[in-house]
Chain A
Amino acid sequence: MNFALKLSASVLALTVAASAVFAQDAAWWKKAAEPYQGVTLHGVTESSPPSNYIREVLAPQFEQLTGIRVDVETTSWDQMFDKAIKDMEAGTGIYDMVYIEQDIIYSYLARNFLTDLTGLLADKPELKAATYDEANFTTFANYFKDGKGHLYGVPMEAFIKIYLYRTDLFNDPAIMAAYKAQTGKDLAPAKTHEDYTAIAKFFYEYGKANNLELWGTTVQGHTGHPASWYEYFESVAPTFGVYNWGIDANNNYAATVEHGGTMNSDTAKKALQWWLDLRQYAPPETDQSTWTETGTTFGAGRVAQGLIYGENAGWIAADAEKSLVTGKVGVALPPLSDGVMGAAEAGKGYIGYYDGGAFGLPATSKNKEAAALFLQFIGQNEVQPDWAVAAPRVTNTATYDDPKVVAMDAKLGGYYSMLKNDGRLFAGAPPYPFHAQLREATAPTFFKILTGELSASDGLDQMAAITEATLTELGYRK
């Protein structure tokens, strides 16, 4: 089912829901919204399936219920941040809701950009909807809380970056036999980096030998876009045991091995080299691939396996309008080095990237109360299942058990089950208020590694030194 059909079905479902589930609360929403009639709320977010669902389904539904109009602007990832930050920095108050990606929340909190939603609702109990409860959210909501446990954003999407593989290829008897003959091992989703490389190499050669448009793996390897930087630091390095970008925040933000960091450690260099070497088995578009293109490459059936953002897993696995591999997709945990799983289970490490975002209320908003109503509306358990089916994301615990979501889980090869059971092993970006600043300071050097101007070893040495210099300049490192 394509996204438009899903939206139509969701609109219908929500209309029914509105008349049934919300009927008892409709009077409350109407009364709570009375003081804000004529208000138009403005939001800005990244153009993604979950955001489009808000714009197309939830915003009209809220307007129908309350009379408060909601205009949600969906744009590109960088434009979204650019617009939101400029608005909040200048205090113009254009936006009443902004998308907060998990990794930027610490910067926003450091700059006091956001409104304390917990505090606002406590101060104004007349705004608190009975159907909204912060306890309904999964633990992902913790990323959007301050030290006191107050929430600054209503989670709207959450997903993990998973190891996606082609079940039709992995379960093909002839291919399995050929793999066994070549490697002496059974063909199964890789548990180790060595196995992952072996599988990538096998399918690369298999594609060549059979004149197929098939390669061994995706690599998010754009040579001029931060997507490649992210894939290494947030999805690859942790699987080798290098966490938090190799920076020790408790040790004066050390990055170099010399000062106690791990960004240029032997393990980090090994991790980077492993990832760089995978490119030889990846399709030609790899060097221009961001997180979007790796999903597209997988959906086009051009690779046997890859690390793919969960937000793309839904359409790859189930949307026949866009994907050529529907029903042929399995999910697995990423390959790991020895000791990494143990560290993750002990809460001392993590095995991959847990990403997502929330809708926050800028401190500069001129319509805080009306916006708080809308944020509660999209945070209710009742609106979640259809949203999760239309765009694979789960932010409320109860959503996992909804029959529609359970059915969708089967189509997604068990992705929701993995998110529910193993989500705790993944982690979001480290809590750095200098996220984008450090990324941009080190990215040019990282791109030189990708183009071969620098070796992985020299490049990481330089990046670690640049990191410490940048953090000193910003005042974080003393």
Chain B
Amino acid sequence: MEQPVLKVSGLETHFFTDDGEIPAVDSVDFYVNKGEVLGIVGESGSGKSVTSLSIMQLIQAPGKVVGGEITYKGENLISKSEKEMRKIRGNEIGMIFQEPMTSLNPVFRIGNQLIEGIRIHKKWNKKKAWEHAVSILKLVGLPRAEELMNEYPHQLSGGMRQRVMIAMAMACEPEVLIADEPTTALDVTIQAQILELMKKLNKETNTSIIMITHDLGVVAEICDRIAVMYSGKIVEQGKTQDIFQHPKHPYTIGLIESVPDVRVRKDRLYSIPGNVPKPGSIQKGCHFAPRCNFAFDKCYEENPTLLDAGPAQQARCWLHEDAKKAAVLERVKS
């Protein structure tokens, strides 16, 4: 059995607002193995970004991690002090953010921003760090790496900035790379370049990647396993192929069906009725029940647990308590 590099269990991150305590992330469990790419998919407000920030211990007030464990190399990150976390961030676990425009400091040269982390974590002198930074820029496929080191972020295009962000995250050879919507702000042709680069880095350096995105196409492209989030909970998880071919949760089915496909034209798009509920607005029962076509009495009474729905697949849906009931989903798919 493979040992997971990073394991999250029972993670609870709540926001303490004037309207009360809002559970943005509600007992979330997942793990990433060495060299694996895990996708966390969800719509806005599903808690996917809060999950990633919780791993890095970057949640700011009024948010707070109130429960659970994040185990990295046998140690619980939640009990770490800020000083200890600093040694882990960037060094052991790297992060790429969505907006390449706002995540780079506009008043420092690319080189200075790149070597800052390297010098702190590796304790190298300036010259050595500089050389390493140049080699990393080359690794992420940027042309004229030496010159770029002396340029400012505004001189680069969006795709190049995102490559610099990836270079920065990869500079200290982290074990785990968390990428929060790394291609959302980019055009498709540039997105294709960045995804190709991430695949290459994953293969060559064996870095584990947690890919957080709302785009099912991106997930299908790059991930080995997927966790689908809805309203602060993981509602389905499994291997990428299984989830796309045999989605077991009504929400996942709806999500896959509602994407307009470039390959075939559907007569009419399937759409999930209603809106994503505000976190904390549903007190009782399954959070998806009000929008679900298959909901029955139990769904409104009790929130389901993650039930086995296949050899390596779980879904948070009462239909999977009983094989007969689950058959309904197969019929709908076909």
Q: Do A and B bind each other?
A: no
